Homo-oligomer: A and B are copies of this chain.
Amino acid sequence: MATGRNHRPATRSRGIPEATVARLPLYLRALTALSERSVPTVSSEELASAAGVNSAKLRKDFSYLGSYGTRGVGYDVEYLVYQISRELGLTQDWPVVIVGIGNLGAALANYGGFASRGFRVAALIDADPALSGRQVAGIEVRHVDELESIIDTNGVSIGVITTPGGAAQQVCDRLVAAGITSILNFAPTVLSVPDGVDVRKVDLSIELQILAFHEQRKAAEALAQDVPEPLAAEAAPSGPGRDQGPDGDIPAVMPA
């Protein structure tokens, strides 16, 4: 296994590509389902299909973890579940705090799939005094004043932000100052954090806008196929009724 024999300095030789890391949870989920059905082994083709990826990609991904397969047979499901779990750090318990217990925060707190993978909600935190002491999903909501002590006491390193956007950076700063080094941000805000702190964001609005882009493109394509010449001004099948062609644009909103 001469892994570090490239012309490239092996400063990150142990490094698993980020794209691969992002797919490991997907493989793990598929493998867990197989495990529950007591399937002993699985081929890269089958597993790739279940995970919705290309089989060559899956094999290459696994090759970064080591040679865990058997040629002519496939992969041992249980063994692979363990290896991936270990690689992702799921063999240990990760206490998590959720800050901002509104609509979304409460939904997350109630989410069962949370605890299913070693993530434990250590505390729910909100700035609203009216919420303090209330129970949400069987967990007492604590006031944001206690944020630092809660994190310190429970050794929390992962924080989830579900406050309004305006409060997100401020909450983030406090979390980081208190020792948090990984943040999952649901607020529509670009968080700025010091080096060494990971931030991942989930933004419903952005996802919808990306879908809308492709939706518009599809509609424009369908339209262009029906009408070769850009002259159909009144064609409106159902919802998507565009006012401008995708190409001959440049409307009248010219800047000064």
Contact = CB atoms under 8 A, between A and B. Distances in A.
A89 B239 CA distance: 13
A92 interface: yes
A130 interface: no
Given A3-B250, A239-B155, A239-B157, A244 B207 contact: no
Contacts of A249: 86
Contacts of A26: 190, 206
A247 B211 CA distance: 18
A202 B200 contact: no
B243 A198 contact: yes
Interface string A127-147: 000000000000000000000
A96 interface: yes
B18 A246 contact: yes
Contacts of A56: none
23 contacts: A1-B250, A2-B248, A21-B214, A23-B250, A24-B209, A51-B190, A87-B213, A89-B213, A92-B240, A94-B239, A96-B208, A103-B107, A103-B110, A106-B107, A119-B208, A155-B240, A157-B215, A182-B211, A182-B212, A182-B215, A194-B241, A201-B245, A202-B202
Q: Which 9 pairs across A and B sit closest by C-beta, in order of nearness?
A: A155-B239, A195-B241, A199-B245, A89-B216, A155-B238, A76-B255, A196-B241, A52-B190, A103-B107
